[in-house]
């Protein structure tokens, strides 16, 4: 496993980091708690020392499961990345969307990052995680009802209090990062990035590389699509938001699988799965510091961790990129 520093902070994380959205169950069609605990432990045993979560993932459940897992792992040997700024327990800020919790009860999600709310959320995160500090505390989504400077004042205070080691953002534009930087030095920006979703290469990647900010890529497997295991007509569990997503139309699944068939021989020559090849490609892209990859059980976690062993030569990356250039997806 390779370990990389987030920006100019003192937080060093594993290049492959455990993404803990799915284990919270919310929007992923449920999850088994014991399997989730086994997955976290297996990840750590195989060099994945970092875990990314959020209060919204199961309305606290993901963080609680991680807190339970931390009881069996030496705290200073693991890095916890969590978030704030999505509230379901109060109607304040900017309405985001309607949803249901893991029990099927309706909830309203709001983007809210007022200073006092950020401080309150940090305390709630610490309690659920059973720890006294968070390695990276990230705003989940921008809140257009609160000045960015106000939000970042809370982050600065929490850093001074030792409750967080570094501050980060998620889903921010380069301009939003510039505004935040007037108050606090950001360590990272967590954004969607995959072989088939590379929008950030236009502006955000150059900005982050120039200013020494890390990019944490989420959904590098495009939520399972780039594993090659999803076929046209795939049936998603109830509550799984992948159903209806533009990437999951039968036509796009067919086209992506045709692309994967072209790079599969390269994976085979390295004794790797398609998913491992995709993860390896991701963490070897310019400007990408971390790839977040979820796992529902120990076997998936082990397979994800082993992607770090796959080394790609420049000409192999060029081959993959050439095949990607030929891939045309159907737009909605």
CA distance 156 to 265: 49
CB atoms within 10 A of CB 331: 6
Phi, psi dihedrals of residue 84, rounded to the nearest 5°? -155, 170
CA-CA distances (angstroms) from residue 197 to 184, 282, 300?
29, 11, 23
Of 66, 84, 182, 65, give the one whose Cα is nearest residue 136: 84
Is there a catalytic annotation at residue 57?
yes
**Three-class SS of residue 79?**
strand
Q: 332, 326 in Cβ contact below 8 A? A: no
Q: 224, 201 in Cβ contact below 8 A? A: no
Strand-pair partners of 258? none
CA distance 13 to 170: 17
Beta strands in 140-196 (DSSP E): 164-170, 186-192
**Three-class SS of residue 298?**
helix
Q: 177: Cβ–Cβ under 8 A, 6 or more apart, which residues?
A: 169, 186, 189, 207, 208, 213
Q: 63: Cβ–Cβ under 8 A, 6 or more apart, which residues?
A: 53, 54, 55, 57, 82, 125, 128, 129
Q: 145: Cβ–Cβ under 8 A, 6 or more apart, which residues?
A: 93, 94, 111, 112
Catalytic residue, chosen from 57, 84, 193, 248, is: 57
Q: 234: Cβ–Cβ under 8 A, 6 or more apart, which residues?
A: 248, 253
Of 196, 94, 192, give the one whose Cα is nearest residue 145: 94
Catalytic residues: 57
């Amino acid at each position: 496993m390779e370990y990389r520093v987030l920006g100019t902070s003192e937080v060093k994380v594993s290049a492959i980091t455990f993404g803990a959205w799915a284990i919270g169950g919310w929007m992923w069609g449920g999850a088994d708690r014991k399997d989730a605990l086994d997955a976290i432990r297996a990840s750590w045993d195989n060099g994945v020392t970092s875990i990314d979560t959020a209060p919204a993932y199961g309305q606290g459940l993901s963080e609680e499961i991680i807190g339970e897992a931390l009881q069996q792992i030496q705290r200073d040997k693991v890095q916890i990345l969590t978030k704030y700024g999505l509230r379901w327990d109060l109607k304040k800020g900017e309405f985001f969307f309607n949803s249901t919790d893991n029990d099927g009860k309706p909830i309203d999600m709001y983007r809210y990052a007022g200073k006092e709310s950020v401080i309150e959320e940090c305390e709630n995160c610490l309690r659920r995680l059973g720890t006294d500090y968070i390695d990276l505390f990230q705003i989940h989504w921008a809140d257009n009802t609160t000045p960015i400077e106000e939000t970042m004042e809370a982050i600065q205070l929490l850093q001074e209090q030792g409750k967080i080691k570094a501050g980060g953002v998620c889903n921010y534009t380069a301009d939003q990062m510039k505004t935040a930087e007037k108050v606090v030095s950001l360590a990272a920006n967590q954004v969607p990035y995959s072989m088939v979703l590379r929008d950030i290469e236009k502006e955000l990647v150059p900005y982050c590389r120039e200013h020494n900010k890390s990019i944490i890529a989420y959904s590098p497997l495009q939520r399972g699509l780039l594993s090659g295991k999803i076929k046209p007509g795939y049936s998603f569990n109830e509550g799984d938001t992948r159903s209806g997503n533009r990437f999951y139309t039968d036509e796009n699944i067919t086209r992506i699988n045709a692309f994967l068939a072209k790079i599969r021989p390269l994976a085979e020559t390295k004794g790797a799965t398609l998913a491992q090849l995709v993860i390896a490609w991701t963490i070897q892209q310019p400007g990408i510091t971390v790839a977040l990859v979820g796992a529902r059980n120990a076997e998936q976690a082990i397979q994800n961790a082993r992607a770090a062993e796959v080394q790609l030569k420049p000409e192999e990356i060029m081959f993959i990129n050439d095949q990607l250039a030929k891939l045309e997806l159907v737009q909605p």
